Structure 1
Amino acid sequence: MEKIHILTDSSSDIPHDLVEAHGIEIVPIMLTHEGRSFREYYDITSEDYCRLLETSSEIPGTAMTTPTVFLESYNRAFERGCTHLLAVLINGGGSGTYQAACLAKSMFEEEQGEGKMTIEVIDSKTYTYIYGHIVVKAAEMREQGESFDAIVSVVKSRLNRVEAYLGVYSLKFLKKSGRISGGAAFVGEALGLKPISHVYDGAVKVCDKVRGEKALVAGMSKKVSARVVQPDKQTAILLYGDVPAERLDEMEKRLRTEIGFRDVERVAIGPSVLTNTGPLAMAVAYYGTPRD
């Protein structure tokens, strides 16, 4: 009889009620700011972090989860009699967390012996609840009695199709983090430019710039519409930082009425992602065509 443990890192931004309802372990990513350290998910909310970003002149830092933390998690699961463990983690191209989990797997097998507990570590190749909602799906399948192999297959299939568009209302934080130059930020703000990025297959690439806040919602909606597959059978994921409610309402209305999504789920973006985008960010995640 399989006993399956499911874990992810805090960057998955799974709401607390879903974590508790489905018994998902959250391994925290560490944040540092002005000499203080705190654990994402456990020690600070997205709302509090947005206020910190708005008022601080210093951009907080993030640190990957260490192999030791993952090894301790694997050992706890093994001691509880788990036969299988699934870890779905933040994009390995943007964080060392995935590599740390893989190293911990090797350490566990050296200590306990191969085959004692099956461990599958998956690089989501994306960020925030874009992969977090797939972890929730895995937990639901576990509750329904699905096999470990079936769960892993569905997780990999969905990760191979999920993508998102990210819009940023202010260039100030991209400038502060060094992701764009001061000159580019000055010109962009003067012209009212709002970048739209495609979050796809491990990369976040600017694919368009629109002028004005209203144009950002329309531009993102247009791009989602061009790539989504069978929206009437999907729930769109609307991710947000400290974005005005009217902008979120407008985006949700477009997702429902213009594109025809079956439903829309709103989820707050967590600190580790907001560190890079700034608080004035919004994204829409959906399923497109499978990647080769």
Structure 2
Amino acid sequence: MSRIVVVTDSTASLPAEVAAAHEIVVVPLQVVIGAEVLDEGPEGATPAMVAAALKEWTPVSTSRPSPAAMRAVYEQAAAAGAEAIVSVHLSGDMSGTYESAQLAAQDAPVPVLAVDSRQVGVATGYAALAAAEAVAAGGSAEEAAEAARRRAEASSSLFYVDTLEYLRRGGRIGAAAALLGGALAVKPLLAISDGRVESLERVRTSQRALARLEELAVTAAGDGPVDVCVAHLANPDRAATLTSRLAERLADQLEGREVWCGELGAVLGAHVGPGMIAACVAPRP
């Protein structure tokens, strides 16, 4: 184990093999489906389970890792030889996970730098990767934390949802905004801005929303090298279409890297609902 360990949470949506290759420790959040509490992940709460529950109106909620659970992760890393930890998490305005990391850091056996990425999904994952790459290059914990913050700030998280109802249920948008979207029968285009969900545009159909999402992602990419990820919940065909289009249009900036495409994790999926399509564009350092 490296003397500086990078920790993140399951909402960062890092493929298991990528996290392992960079020695990133992933702490699961929990999903409550009905009366059952499950860790997010292939052995616990899966996107398919959440999508099915939402369609059937089964109550679904999410829960952060407790400070005790975070502290146990830090203690395990220290016991394995870590001398410092950089803990990178989803926006503190969207979840209490960052707060749990801060509280756990107070009693950790080694110094812990908790980083609020002010992002969600794979944008947080890219921030964690930036921290791990800084460590691999010989950087200090402080330099790794700063690399994570810079990558997260430069990233764009864009998405559309079939309905605002799930975001309303989870308290991520106001009831008035959800009611307006439903009344107009629009497909809202949204973004993460300073850690919160922000409305960008409203379009009339899913097809137009997908086309507009593509244009916004291309604009966000700018002219330099980027990493790109497409995520969805129960919408694989449209996600595949967007992935193909972005891979073609951003080929020069991808420099041979693939556009990641996968289903959104269970925790984030619980708040956006089936049909969601997202694009994350993360300029490379």
Same fold (TM over 0.5): yes
Matched, 1:250 2:241: yes
Shift of 1:2: 6.5
Is contact 1:174-1:277 (8 Å) kept? yes
Larger radius of gyration: 1
Is contact 1:240-1:281 (8 Å) kept? yes
Shift of 1:166: 0.9
CA deviations on 1:86-105 (whole Å, 9 max, x unpaired) are 10011101111111111111
Task: Give the direction of change, closer, same or farther, for the CA distance of 1:218–1:27 in structure 2 (3 Å limit).
Answer: same
CA deviations on 1:202-243 (whole Å, 9 max, x unpaired) are 121111111112101111122223333225x11211111111
Shift of 1:183: 5.0
Q: Distance between the aligned counterparts of 1:148 and 1:183, measured in 2?
A: 45
Shift of 1:15: 1.7
Is contact 1:168-1:280 (8 Å) kept? yes
Matched, 1:187 2:183: yes
- The letter for the 1-side match of 2:132 is A
Alignment of 1:142-291 (within 5 A): 142-143=135-136, 145-171=138-164, 173-174=166-167, 179=173, 180=175, 184=180, 186-189=182-185, 193-231=186-224, 233-245=225-237, 247-258=238-249, 261-262=253-254, 263-287=258-282
Report the 3-state secondary structure (helix = DSSP H, G, I; strand = E; otherwise coil) of the residue aligned with 1:75: helix
Is contact 1:7-1:88 (8 Å) kept? yes
- The letter for the 2-side match of 1:97 is T
Report the 3-state secondary structure (helix = DSSP H, G, I; strand = E; otherwise coil) of the residue aligned with 2:31: strand
Per the alignment, residue 72 of structure 1 pairs with: 72
Q: Distance between the aligned counterparts of 2:134 and 2:147, measured in 1?
A: 9
Shift of 1:253: 3.4
- The letter for the 2-side match of 1:119 is V
Q: Distance between the aligned counterparts of 1:44 and 1:18, measured in 2?
A: 20
Is contact 1:229-1:289 (8 Å) kept? no
Q: Distance between the aligned counterparts of 1:220 and 1:139, measured in 2?
A: 30
The TM-score, its normalising length taken from structure 2, stands at: 0.86
Q: Distance between the aligned counterparts of 1:147 and 1:177, measured in 2?
A: 38
Shift of 1:171: 4.6
- The letter for the 2-side match of 1:234 is V
Report the 3-state secondary structure (helix = DSSP H, G, I; strand = E; otherwise coil) of the residue aligned with 1:160: helix
- The letter for the 1-side match of 2:229 is I
CA deviations on 1:53-91 (whole Å, 9 max, x unpaired) are 223x13311112111111112222222221110100111
* RMSD of aligned Cα (Å): 2.7
Report the 3-state secondary structure (helix = DSSP H, G, I; strand = E; otherwise coil) of the residue aligned with 2:107: helix
Q: Distance between the aligned counterparts of 1:77 and 1:284, measured in 2?
A: 33
Task: Give the direction of change, closer, same or farther, for the CA distance of 1:211–1:79 in structure 2 (3 Å limit).
Answer: same
CA deviations on 1:106-132 (whole Å, 9 max, x unpaired) are 123xxx5xxxx2211000111111211
Report the 3-state secondary structure (helix = DSSP H, G, I; strand = E; otherwise coil) of the residue aligned with 1:154: helix
Report the 3-state secondary structure (helix = DSSP H, G, I; strand = E; otherwise coil) of the residue aligned with 1:95: coil
Percent of aligned pairs with the same residue? Answer: 21
Is contact 1:236-1:265 (8 Å) kept? yes
Per the alignment, residue 43 of structure 1 pairs with: 44
Q: Distance between the aligned counterparts of 1:50 and 1:239, measured in 2?
A: 14
- The letter for the 2-side match of 1:252 is T
Is contact 2:70-2:100 (8 Å) kept? yes
Residues 165-174 or 125-134, more deviating: 165-174
Task: Give the direction of change, closer, same or farther, for the CA distance of 1:148–1:173 in structure 2 (3 Å limit).
Answer: closer
Q: Distance between the aligned counterparts of 2:11 and 2:68, measured in 1?
A: 18
The TM-score, its normalising length taken from structure 1, stands at: 0.84
- The letter for the 1-side match of 2:270 is T
Is contact 1:171-1:188 (8 Å) kept? no
